[in-house]
Structure 1
Amino acid sequence: MKSFEFLSIDRQEKPRTSGLTMVLDKGLGLETADSLMKISGDYVDYLKFGWGTSIVHEQDIIKAKVEMYKSHKITPYTGGTLFELAYMKGKLEEFFQEAHELGFPAIEISDGSTNIPTENKLNCIEKAKDDGFEVLSEVGKKNPQLDKELSLDERIEQMENELNAGSSLIIVEAREGGKNIGIFDKSGNPKEDEIDYILEKIDNKKILWEAPNKDQQVFFILKLGNTVNLGNISSDDITSLETLRRGLRGDTLGKI
Protein backbone atom coordinates (compact mmCIF):
# COMPACT_ATOMS: atom_id res chain seq x y z
CA MET A 1 0.00 0.00 0.00
CA LYS A 2 1.30 3.44 -0.94
CA SER A 3 1.61 6.09 1.76
CA PHE A 4 -1.15 8.75 1.85
CA GLU A 5 -2.84 6.83 -0.96
CA PHE A 6 -6.22 8.27 0.00
CA LEU A 7 -5.04 11.66 -1.29
CA SER A 8 -4.05 10.43 -4.74
CA ILE A 9 -5.94 10.35 -8.03
CA ASP A 10 -6.47 6.80 -9.31
CA ARG A 11 -4.56 5.71 -12.41
CA GLN A 12 -5.25 2.76 -14.67
CA GLU A 13 -3.11 -0.20 -13.66
CA LYS A 14 -0.79 -1.97 -16.08
CA PRO A 15 -1.13 -3.08 -18.75
CA ARG A 16 -2.43 0.40 -19.52
CA THR A 17 -4.06 1.41 -22.78
CA SER A 18 -3.50 5.12 -22.20
CA GLY A 19 -1.47 7.35 -19.93
CA LEU A 20 1.62 5.51 -21.14
CA THR A 21 5.08 6.58 -20.03
CA MET A 22 8.14 5.75 -22.11
CA VAL A 23 11.46 6.13 -20.33
CA LEU A 24 14.83 6.53 -22.02
CA ASP A 25 17.63 4.24 -20.79
CA LYS A 26 20.91 5.87 -21.83
CA GLY A 27 23.08 3.13 -20.37
CA LEU A 28 21.94 2.42 -16.82
CA GLY A 29 23.76 -0.32 -14.95
CA LEU A 30 21.73 -3.41 -14.11
CA GLU A 31 21.71 -2.83 -10.35
CA THR A 32 20.85 0.85 -10.75
CA ALA A 33 18.03 0.08 -13.17
CA ASP A 34 16.71 -2.72 -10.96
CA SER A 35 16.69 -0.47 -7.89
CA LEU A 36 14.93 2.26 -9.86
CA MET A 37 12.24 -0.09 -11.13
CA LYS A 38 11.59 -1.46 -7.64
CA ILE A 39 10.51 2.00 -6.55
CA SER A 40 9.16 3.44 -9.83
CA GLY A 41 8.48 0.51 -12.16
CA ASP A 42 4.71 0.78 -11.65
CA TYR A 43 4.82 4.08 -13.55
CA VAL A 44 6.77 2.92 -16.61
CA ASP A 45 5.14 1.23 -19.60
CA TYR A 46 7.88 1.32 -22.24
CA LEU A 47 11.63 1.41 -21.78
CA LYS A 48 13.75 2.43 -24.74
CA PHE A 49 17.39 1.38 -24.92
CA GLY A 50 18.49 4.71 -26.40
CA TRP A 51 19.86 5.01 -29.95
CA GLY A 52 22.75 2.54 -30.37
CA THR A 53 23.69 2.11 -26.70
CA SER A 54 23.01 -1.64 -26.80
CA ILE A 55 26.01 -2.18 -29.08
CA VAL A 56 28.57 -0.93 -26.58
CA HIS A 57 27.40 -3.10 -23.66
CA GLU A 58 27.81 -6.85 -23.13
CA GLN A 59 25.00 -9.09 -24.34
CA ASP A 60 24.49 -10.74 -20.94
CA ILE A 61 23.95 -7.33 -19.32
CA ILE A 62 21.47 -6.26 -22.00
CA LYS A 63 19.61 -9.56 -21.71
CA ALA A 64 19.47 -9.32 -17.92
CA LYS A 65 18.15 -5.76 -18.09
CA VAL A 66 15.51 -6.74 -20.65
CA GLU A 67 14.27 -9.57 -18.43
CA MET A 68 14.32 -7.32 -15.35
CA TYR A 69 12.21 -4.69 -17.11
CA LYS A 70 9.75 -7.32 -18.34
CA SER A 71 9.38 -8.63 -14.78
CA HIS A 72 7.93 -5.21 -13.92
CA LYS A 73 5.41 -5.45 -16.79
CA ILE A 74 7.43 -2.98 -18.83
CA THR A 75 7.96 -3.36 -22.59
CA PRO A 76 11.66 -2.80 -23.37
CA TYR A 77 12.59 -1.99 -26.95
CA THR A 78 15.53 -1.09 -29.13
CA GLY A 79 16.11 2.51 -30.19
CA GLY A 80 15.37 3.62 -33.73
CA THR A 81 18.97 4.49 -34.54
CA LEU A 82 19.90 0.83 -34.05
CA PHE A 83 17.27 -0.16 -36.63
CA GLU A 84 18.53 2.51 -39.05
CA LEU A 85 22.07 1.20 -38.72
CA ALA A 86 20.89 -2.34 -39.45
CA TYR A 87 18.94 -1.08 -42.46
CA MET A 88 21.94 0.83 -43.82
CA LYS A 89 24.17 -2.22 -43.51
CA GLY A 90 21.63 -4.62 -45.01
CA LYS A 91 21.52 -6.59 -41.74
CA LEU A 92 17.82 -6.51 -40.85
CA GLU A 93 17.40 -10.27 -40.59
CA GLU A 94 20.39 -10.50 -38.24
CA PHE A 95 19.06 -7.53 -36.29
CA PHE A 96 15.66 -9.13 -35.79
CA GLN A 97 17.26 -12.43 -34.80
CA GLU A 98 19.52 -10.90 -32.15
CA ALA A 99 16.71 -8.73 -30.81
CA HIS A 100 14.71 -11.93 -30.29
CA GLU A 101 17.68 -13.67 -28.66
CA LEU A 102 18.14 -10.76 -26.24
CA GLY A 103 14.47 -10.97 -25.32
CA PHE A 104 13.21 -7.68 -26.79
CA PRO A 105 9.44 -7.90 -27.41
CA ALA A 106 9.36 -4.64 -29.38
CA ILE A 107 11.50 -2.49 -31.65
CA GLU A 108 11.41 1.08 -32.84
CA ILE A 109 11.47 1.78 -36.56
CA SER A 110 12.50 5.28 -37.59
CA ASP A 111 14.23 7.23 -40.31
CA GLY A 112 15.26 10.23 -38.24
CA SER A 113 18.97 10.02 -39.07
CA THR A 114 18.79 8.39 -42.50
CA ASN A 115 16.77 8.58 -45.71
CA ILE A 116 14.59 5.49 -46.04
CA PRO A 117 12.03 5.48 -48.86
CA THR A 118 8.49 5.51 -47.49
CA GLU A 119 7.58 2.17 -49.05
CA ASN A 120 10.68 0.54 -47.57
CA LYS A 121 9.94 1.88 -44.09
CA LEU A 122 6.38 0.59 -44.26
CA ASN A 123 7.66 -2.81 -45.45
CA CYS A 124 10.04 -2.91 -42.49
CA ILE A 125 7.17 -2.23 -40.09
CA GLU A 126 5.18 -5.07 -41.65
CA LYS A 127 8.16 -7.45 -41.57
CA ALA A 128 8.96 -6.67 -37.95
CA LYS A 129 5.36 -7.25 -36.93
CA ASP A 130 5.22 -10.49 -38.93
CA ASP A 131 8.42 -11.52 -37.13
CA GLY A 132 6.61 -11.23 -33.79
CA PHE A 133 7.63 -7.77 -32.59
CA GLU A 134 5.46 -4.96 -31.38
CA VAL A 135 6.45 -1.97 -33.49
CA LEU A 136 6.68 1.63 -32.37
CA SER A 137 7.52 3.91 -35.28
CA GLU A 138 8.85 7.44 -35.14
CA VAL A 139 8.01 10.35 -37.42
CA GLY A 140 10.39 13.28 -37.81
CA LYS A 141 14.04 14.05 -38.48
CA LYS A 142 16.76 14.56 -35.89
CA ASN A 143 18.40 17.33 -37.93
CA PRO A 144 16.30 20.48 -37.27
CA GLN A 145 16.79 21.80 -40.79
CA LEU A 146 15.69 18.56 -42.41
CA ASP A 147 12.83 18.25 -39.95
CA LYS A 148 11.51 21.68 -40.96
CA GLU A 149 11.27 20.45 -44.56
CA LEU A 150 8.50 18.06 -43.50
CA SER A 151 5.11 19.73 -43.76
CA LEU A 152 2.46 19.02 -41.16
CA ASP A 153 0.33 17.20 -43.74
CA GLU A 154 3.32 15.03 -44.68
CA ARG A 155 3.85 14.10 -41.02
CA ILE A 156 0.20 13.18 -40.65
CA GLU A 157 0.25 11.10 -43.83
CA GLN A 158 3.30 9.24 -42.50
CA MET A 159 1.55 8.61 -39.20
CA GLU A 160 -1.55 7.23 -40.92
CA ASN A 161 0.47 5.00 -43.23
CA GLU A 162 2.60 3.61 -40.41
CA LEU A 163 -0.39 2.85 -38.22
CA ASN A 164 -1.98 1.05 -41.16
CA ALA A 165 1.26 -0.90 -41.68
CA GLY A 166 1.09 -2.23 -38.12
CA SER A 167 2.69 0.25 -35.71
CA SER A 168 1.03 0.19 -32.31
CA LEU A 169 2.17 3.72 -31.48
CA ILE A 170 3.51 6.67 -33.42
CA ILE A 171 6.33 8.54 -31.69
CA VAL A 172 6.48 12.26 -32.44
CA GLU A 173 10.17 13.16 -32.65
CA ALA A 174 11.53 15.68 -30.14
CA ARG A 175 14.90 14.12 -29.28
CA GLU A 176 16.11 14.18 -25.67
CA GLY A 177 16.47 17.97 -25.68
CA GLY A 178 12.97 18.85 -26.86
CA LYS A 179 13.92 22.11 -28.57
CA ASN A 180 13.78 23.42 -32.15
CA ILE A 181 12.37 20.24 -33.58
CA GLY A 182 8.99 18.80 -34.50
CA ILE A 183 6.20 20.28 -32.40
CA PHE A 184 8.56 22.38 -30.24
CA ASP A 185 10.04 25.78 -31.08
CA LYS A 186 13.61 26.95 -30.36
CA SER A 187 12.75 27.59 -26.72
CA GLY A 188 11.07 24.21 -26.29
CA ASN A 189 7.55 25.65 -26.27
CA PRO A 190 4.85 23.45 -27.84
CA LYS A 191 3.35 24.62 -31.14
CA GLU A 192 -0.23 24.23 -29.99
CA ASP A 193 -1.85 24.96 -33.34
CA GLU A 194 0.16 22.16 -34.98
CA ILE A 195 -0.66 19.77 -32.15
CA ASP A 196 -4.37 20.58 -32.53
CA TYR A 197 -4.16 19.90 -36.26
CA ILE A 198 -2.51 16.52 -35.69
CA LEU A 199 -5.20 15.61 -33.17
CA GLU A 200 -7.91 16.34 -35.74
CA LYS A 201 -6.46 13.57 -37.91
CA ILE A 202 -4.85 11.03 -35.57
CA ASP A 203 -6.28 9.28 -32.51
CA ASN A 204 -4.45 10.66 -29.48
CA LYS A 205 -4.29 7.16 -27.96
CA LYS A 206 -2.09 6.13 -30.90
CA ILE A 207 0.42 8.95 -30.35
CA LEU A 208 3.42 8.92 -28.02
CA TRP A 209 4.48 12.53 -27.61
CA GLU A 210 8.17 12.92 -26.83
CA ALA A 211 8.25 15.47 -24.02
CA PRO A 212 11.58 15.34 -22.20
CA ASN A 213 11.17 18.61 -20.28
CA LYS A 214 8.89 19.22 -17.31
CA ASP A 215 7.13 22.25 -18.82
CA GLN A 216 6.28 20.16 -21.89
CA GLN A 217 4.90 17.37 -19.72
CA VAL A 218 2.77 19.87 -17.80
CA PHE A 219 1.47 21.33 -21.07
CA PHE A 220 0.32 17.97 -22.42
CA ILE A 221 -1.23 16.85 -19.13
CA LEU A 222 -3.20 20.09 -18.75
CA LYS A 223 -4.23 20.06 -22.42
CA LEU A 224 -5.01 16.37 -22.95
CA GLY A 225 -5.40 15.00 -19.43
CA ASN A 226 -3.29 12.68 -17.34
CA THR A 227 -3.96 9.81 -19.74
CA VAL A 228 -1.79 11.39 -22.45
CA ASN A 229 1.08 9.17 -23.68
CA LEU A 230 4.49 10.75 -23.04
CA GLY A 231 7.97 9.61 -24.04
CA ASN A 232 11.69 10.28 -23.81
CA ILE A 233 11.30 10.72 -20.08
CA SER A 234 14.59 10.73 -18.23
CA SER A 235 15.07 7.89 -15.75
CA ASP A 236 15.54 10.63 -13.13
CA ASP A 237 12.08 12.04 -13.85
CA ILE A 238 9.83 8.97 -13.58
CA THR A 239 8.46 9.89 -10.15
CA SER A 240 8.26 13.56 -11.07
CA LEU A 241 6.08 12.82 -14.11
CA GLU A 242 3.82 10.47 -12.15
CA THR A 243 3.21 13.15 -9.53
CA LEU A 244 2.30 15.58 -12.33
CA ARG A 245 -0.14 13.03 -13.72
CA ARG A 246 -1.76 12.62 -10.30
CA GLY A 247 -1.98 16.31 -9.42
CA LEU A 248 0.60 15.95 -6.65
CA ARG A 249 2.80 18.83 -7.78
CA GLY A 250 2.03 22.55 -7.87
CA ASP A 251 1.90 22.64 -11.67
CA THR A 252 -1.11 20.30 -11.82
CA LEU A 253 -2.50 20.43 -8.28
CA GLY A 254 -6.26 20.89 -8.47
CA LYS A 255 -6.15 21.01 -12.28
CA ILE A 256 -6.49 17.32 -13.17
Structure 2
Amino acid sequence: MEFLDLPMRTSGTRTYGITSIADFGVPLQELEYILSDYGHIIDIAKLGIGSAYVTPNVEKKIALYKKYDIEPYCGGTLFEKGYYQNKLTEYTDYLRKLEIEWIEISNGTIDIPLNERLNLVLQLKDDFHVIAEVGSKDANKHMSTSDWVDEVKILLEAGCQYVITEGRDSGTSGIYDKSGLIKSELVEELRKEIDCNKIIFEAPLPKHQMYFINEIGPNVNLGNVRLSDVLILEAQRCGLRCETFFLEEAECKLPL
Protein backbone atom coordinates (compact mmCIF):
# COMPACT_ATOMS: atom_id res chain seq x y z
CA MET A 1 0.00 0.00 0.00
CA GLU A 2 1.48 3.33 -1.07
CA PHE A 3 0.63 6.33 1.09
CA LEU A 4 3.64 8.68 1.01
CA ASP A 5 4.21 11.59 -1.37
CA LEU A 6 7.57 10.84 -2.93
CA PRO A 7 9.62 12.35 -5.78
CA MET A 8 8.43 11.11 -9.15
CA ARG A 9 10.67 8.34 -10.51
CA THR A 10 11.02 7.29 -14.10
CA SER A 11 10.05 3.67 -14.70
CA GLY A 12 9.87 1.01 -17.36
CA THR A 13 12.51 1.35 -20.07
CA ARG A 14 14.18 4.46 -18.73
CA THR A 15 16.05 6.97 -20.87
CA TYR A 16 17.08 8.90 -17.74
CA GLY A 17 16.92 8.22 -14.04
CA ILE A 18 19.20 5.31 -14.92
CA THR A 19 20.92 3.05 -12.42
CA SER A 20 23.93 1.37 -14.02
CA ILE A 21 25.53 -1.29 -11.86
CA ALA A 22 29.09 -2.63 -11.96
CA ASP A 23 29.33 -6.42 -11.92
CA PHE A 24 32.82 -7.43 -10.84
CA GLY A 25 32.13 -11.15 -10.84
CA VAL A 26 28.98 -11.90 -8.86
CA PRO A 27 28.25 -15.66 -9.26
CA LEU A 28 25.42 -16.55 -11.61
CA GLN A 29 23.09 -18.10 -9.03
CA GLU A 30 23.62 -15.22 -6.61
CA LEU A 31 22.87 -12.77 -9.41
CA GLU A 32 19.60 -14.55 -10.16
CA TYR A 33 18.47 -14.13 -6.55
CA ILE A 34 19.40 -10.44 -6.58
CA LEU A 35 17.67 -9.69 -9.86
CA SER A 36 14.50 -11.49 -8.83
CA ASP A 37 14.04 -8.78 -6.17
CA TYR A 38 15.86 -5.76 -7.58
CA GLY A 39 15.91 -6.22 -11.35
CA HIS A 40 13.19 -3.58 -11.82
CA ILE A 41 15.43 -0.84 -10.39
CA ILE A 42 18.49 -1.69 -12.50
CA ASP A 43 18.74 -0.45 -16.09
CA ILE A 44 22.27 -1.17 -17.28
CA ALA A 45 24.87 -3.70 -16.13
CA LYS A 46 28.56 -3.21 -16.81
CA LEU A 47 30.70 -6.34 -16.64
CA GLY A 48 33.46 -4.43 -14.88
CA ILE A 49 36.99 -3.85 -16.13
CA GLY A 50 37.81 -6.72 -18.57
CA SER A 51 36.11 -9.36 -16.42
CA ALA A 52 33.67 -10.48 -19.15
CA TYR A 53 36.57 -12.13 -20.99
CA VAL A 54 37.25 -14.52 -18.09
CA THR A 55 33.73 -14.85 -16.68
CA PRO A 56 32.48 -18.47 -16.54
CA ASN A 57 29.11 -18.91 -18.27
CA VAL A 58 29.23 -15.33 -19.54
CA GLU A 59 26.52 -16.13 -22.11
CA LYS A 60 24.17 -17.25 -19.33
CA LYS A 61 24.92 -14.11 -17.32
CA ILE A 62 24.13 -11.86 -20.28
CA ALA A 63 20.90 -13.78 -20.94
CA LEU A 64 19.93 -13.40 -17.28
CA TYR A 65 20.35 -9.62 -17.39
CA LYS A 66 18.29 -9.47 -20.56
CA LYS A 67 15.56 -11.58 -18.93
CA TYR A 68 15.07 -8.66 -16.52
CA ASP A 69 15.26 -6.03 -19.31
CA ILE A 70 18.70 -4.88 -18.16
CA GLU A 71 21.18 -3.90 -20.87
CA PRO A 72 24.58 -5.60 -20.33
CA TYR A 73 27.85 -4.28 -21.72
CA CYS A 74 31.57 -4.81 -21.24
CA GLY A 75 33.71 -2.39 -19.28
CA GLY A 76 35.92 0.06 -21.15
CA THR A 77 39.11 -1.73 -20.13
CA LEU A 78 38.21 -4.63 -22.44
CA PHE A 79 37.67 -2.19 -25.30
CA GLU A 80 41.02 -0.53 -24.57
CA LYS A 81 42.78 -3.91 -24.51
CA GLY A 82 41.36 -4.69 -27.93
CA TYR A 83 42.35 -1.26 -29.24
CA TYR A 84 45.88 -1.57 -27.83
CA GLN A 85 46.38 -4.96 -29.49
CA ASN A 86 44.82 -3.82 -32.81
CA LYS A 87 41.97 -6.31 -32.37
CA LEU A 88 38.89 -4.11 -32.39
CA THR A 89 37.33 -6.12 -35.23
CA GLU A 90 37.69 -9.28 -33.14
CA TYR A 91 36.28 -7.42 -30.14
CA THR A 92 33.16 -6.24 -31.94
CA ASP A 93 32.68 -9.76 -33.35
CA TYR A 94 32.92 -11.03 -29.77
CA LEU A 95 30.19 -8.60 -28.66
CA ARG A 96 27.93 -9.64 -31.53
CA LYS A 97 28.43 -13.32 -30.69
CA LEU A 98 27.41 -12.57 -27.09
CA GLU A 99 24.43 -10.52 -28.40
CA ILE A 100 25.65 -7.44 -26.52
CA GLU A 101 24.18 -4.34 -28.14
CA TRP A 102 26.10 -1.66 -26.22
CA ILE A 103 29.77 -0.75 -26.48
CA GLU A 104 31.88 1.55 -24.32
CA ILE A 105 34.62 3.67 -25.88
CA SER A 106 36.98 4.95 -23.22
CA ASN A 107 40.54 6.09 -22.64
CA GLY A 108 40.82 5.57 -18.91
CA THR A 109 43.96 3.42 -19.02
CA ILE A 110 45.62 4.32 -22.32
CA ASP A 111 45.58 7.66 -24.09
CA ILE A 112 43.39 7.42 -27.18
CA PRO A 113 43.20 10.80 -28.97
CA LEU A 114 39.75 12.37 -29.09
CA ASN A 115 39.70 12.38 -32.90
CA GLU A 116 40.34 8.64 -32.92
CA ARG A 117 37.53 8.05 -30.42
CA LEU A 118 35.20 10.19 -32.51
CA ASN A 119 36.03 8.13 -35.60
CA LEU A 120 35.23 4.97 -33.67
CA VAL A 121 31.89 6.41 -32.54
CA LEU A 122 31.01 7.19 -36.15
CA GLN A 123 32.04 3.68 -37.25
CA LEU A 124 30.17 1.83 -34.51
CA LYS A 125 27.01 3.83 -33.83
CA ASP A 126 25.01 2.10 -36.59
CA ASP A 127 25.69 -1.35 -35.09
CA PHE A 128 25.82 -0.59 -31.35
CA HIS A 129 24.49 1.82 -28.77
CA VAL A 130 27.71 3.69 -28.01
CA ILE A 131 28.65 4.93 -24.56
CA ALA A 132 31.79 7.06 -24.32
CA GLU A 133 33.70 7.72 -21.14
CA VAL A 134 35.51 10.96 -20.38
CA GLY A 135 38.30 11.24 -17.83
CA SER A 136 41.29 9.17 -16.80
CA LYS A 137 41.71 6.50 -14.15
CA ASP A 138 45.03 8.18 -13.30
CA ALA A 139 44.25 10.76 -10.62
CA ASN A 140 47.45 12.61 -11.50
CA LYS A 141 46.23 13.44 -15.02
CA HIS A 142 44.58 16.85 -15.14
CA MET A 143 41.81 17.94 -17.49
CA SER A 144 40.53 21.48 -17.39
CA THR A 145 36.83 22.07 -16.84
CA SER A 146 36.48 23.51 -20.34
CA ASP A 147 38.12 20.39 -21.81
CA TRP A 148 35.69 18.18 -19.90
CA VAL A 149 32.70 20.14 -21.18
CA ASP A 150 33.97 20.28 -24.77
CA GLU A 151 34.78 16.56 -24.88
CA VAL A 152 31.38 15.50 -23.51
CA LYS A 153 29.59 17.79 -25.98
CA ILE A 154 31.60 16.57 -28.96
CA LEU A 155 31.06 12.90 -28.13
CA LEU A 156 27.32 13.36 -27.73
CA GLU A 157 27.11 15.28 -30.98
CA ALA A 158 28.99 12.44 -32.70
CA GLY A 159 26.20 10.04 -31.79
CA CYS A 160 26.90 8.60 -28.35
CA GLN A 161 23.85 7.42 -26.46
CA TYR A 162 25.38 8.59 -23.18
CA VAL A 163 28.70 9.88 -21.89
CA ILE A 164 30.08 8.53 -18.63
CA THR A 165 32.16 10.68 -16.31
CA GLU A 166 35.06 8.61 -14.99
CA GLY A 167 35.10 7.94 -11.28
CA ARG A 168 36.52 4.43 -10.96
CA ASP A 169 34.99 1.90 -8.57
CA SER A 170 36.82 3.68 -5.74
CA GLY A 171 35.66 7.23 -6.46
CA THR A 172 39.23 8.59 -6.49
CA SER A 173 39.80 9.85 -10.03
CA GLY A 174 38.05 11.62 -12.88
CA ILE A 175 35.27 13.71 -11.33
CA TYR A 176 36.75 12.99 -7.88
CA ASP A 177 40.07 13.99 -6.40
CA LYS A 178 42.52 11.51 -4.89
CA SER A 179 40.82 11.70 -1.50
CA GLY A 180 37.38 10.96 -2.95
CA LEU A 181 35.99 14.48 -2.85
CA ILE A 182 33.69 15.42 -5.72
CA LYS A 183 34.92 18.17 -8.04
CA SER A 184 31.72 20.14 -7.51
CA GLU A 185 32.70 23.07 -9.74
CA LEU A 186 33.25 20.64 -12.62
CA VAL A 187 29.87 18.97 -12.03
CA GLU A 188 28.14 22.35 -11.89
CA GLU A 189 29.69 23.40 -15.19
CA LEU A 190 28.65 20.15 -16.86
CA ARG A 191 25.10 20.75 -15.60
CA LYS A 192 25.05 24.28 -16.97
CA GLU A 193 26.37 23.39 -20.41
CA ILE A 194 25.00 19.92 -21.19
CA ASP A 195 21.73 18.00 -20.94
CA CYS A 196 22.52 15.94 -17.85
CA ASN A 197 19.97 13.32 -18.91
CA LYS A 198 22.69 12.26 -21.38
CA ILE A 199 25.43 12.00 -18.74
CA ILE A 200 25.97 8.98 -16.49
CA PHE A 201 27.88 10.10 -13.40
CA GLU A 202 29.97 7.34 -11.90
CA ALA A 203 29.05 7.27 -8.23
CA PRO A 204 30.34 4.09 -6.60
CA LEU A 205 29.64 5.02 -2.97
CA PRO A 206 26.38 6.08 -1.26
CA LYS A 207 27.95 9.41 -0.23
CA HIS A 208 28.63 10.16 -3.92
CA GLN A 209 25.12 9.11 -4.90
CA MET A 210 23.60 11.37 -2.24
CA TYR A 211 25.50 14.34 -3.62
CA PHE A 212 24.22 13.88 -7.17
CA ILE A 213 20.65 13.18 -6.07
CA ASN A 214 20.55 16.33 -3.95
CA GLU A 215 22.26 18.49 -6.56
CA ILE A 216 20.59 17.22 -9.73
CA GLY A 217 17.47 15.35 -8.63
CA PRO A 218 16.06 11.87 -8.05
CA ASN A 219 16.32 10.99 -11.74
CA VAL A 220 20.01 11.66 -12.20
CA ASN A 221 21.83 8.91 -14.13
CA LEU A 222 24.29 7.09 -11.86
CA GLY A 223 26.88 4.46 -12.76
CA ASN A 224 29.37 2.08 -11.15
CA VAL A 225 26.75 1.33 -8.51
CA ARG A 226 27.47 -1.79 -6.46
CA LEU A 227 24.84 -4.49 -6.57
CA SER A 228 24.71 -4.47 -2.79
CA ASP A 229 23.79 -0.75 -2.87
CA VAL A 230 20.98 -0.89 -5.45
CA LEU A 231 18.11 -0.82 -2.95
CA ILE A 232 19.84 1.83 -0.81
CA LEU A 233 20.21 3.99 -3.92
CA GLU A 234 16.54 3.65 -4.82
CA ALA A 235 15.57 4.62 -1.26
CA GLN A 236 17.80 7.68 -1.56
CA ARG A 237 16.19 8.63 -4.86
CA CYS A 238 12.80 8.44 -3.16
CA GLY A 239 13.81 10.71 -0.26
CA LEU A 240 13.81 7.81 2.20
CA ARG A 241 17.19 8.50 3.79
CA CYS A 242 18.00 11.34 6.13
CA GLU A 243 20.48 12.89 3.69
CA THR A 244 17.79 13.07 0.96
CA PHE A 245 14.78 13.38 3.28
CA PHE A 246 13.72 16.83 2.04
CA LEU A 247 14.28 16.04 -1.62
CA GLU A 248 11.76 17.70 -3.89
CA GLU A 249 10.58 16.37 -7.19
CA ALA A 250 13.08 17.41 -9.84
CA GLU A 251 14.27 16.41 -13.26
CA CYS A 252 17.39 17.16 -15.27
CA LYS A 253 16.56 19.67 -17.98
CA LEU A 254 18.34 20.99 -21.03
CA PRO A 255 20.75 23.83 -20.27
CA LEU A 256 19.36 27.30 -20.93
Question: TM-score scaled by structure 1?
Answer: 0.92
Q: Is the 8 A contact 1:169 1:207 kept in 2?
A: yes
5 Å matches for 1:67-106?
A: 67-106=63-102
Cα separation, 2, equivalents of 1:255 and 1:139: 29
CA contact (8 A) 1:142 1:175 kept: yes
Work out the percentage of aligned pairs sharing the same amino acid: 36
Corresponding residue of 2:166:
173
Distance in 2 (CA, whole Å) between partners of 1:206 and 1:97 is: 27
The equivalent residue for 1:29 is 27
Q: Tell me the residue number matched to 1:12.
A: 10
Give the aligned length. 247
Following superposition, the deviation at residue 183 of structure 1 comes to: 2.2
In the alignment, the residues of structure 2 paired with residue 157 and residue 254 of structure 1 have an alpha-carbon distance, to the nearest angstrom, of: 34
Report the RMSD for the aligned CA atoms in angstroms.
1.3
Give 1:247 shift: 1.3
Unaligned runs of 5+ in 2: 249-256
What aligned pairs does 1:1-256 form with structure 2 within 5 A after superposition?
4-7=1-4, 9=6, 10-58=8-56, 61-130=57-126, 132-146=127-141, 148=142, 150-179=143-172, 181-256=173-248
TM-score, length-scaled by structure 2: 0.92
CA distance in 1, matches of 2:174, 2:53: 28
> Which residue identity is paired with 2:30?
T
Letter in 2 for 1:244: Q
Deviations 1:173-215 (A, max 9, x none): 0000112x22223332222222111112111111100011111
Q: Output one character per residue of 1:140-198: Cα deviation in whole Å (capped at 9) or x when no partner.
A: 0111112x2x211112111111112211111000000112x222233322222221111
| 1:204 partner letter | C
- Structure 1 gaps of 5+ residues are none
Structure 2 counterpart SS, 1:231: strand
Deviation of 1:30 after TM superposition, in Å, equals 1.1
Check whether the contact 1:14–1:45 (CA below 8 A) recurs between aligned residues: no
Say which is worse superposed, 9-18 or 228-237, in terms of deviation.
Answer: 9-18
Which letter maps to 1:226? P
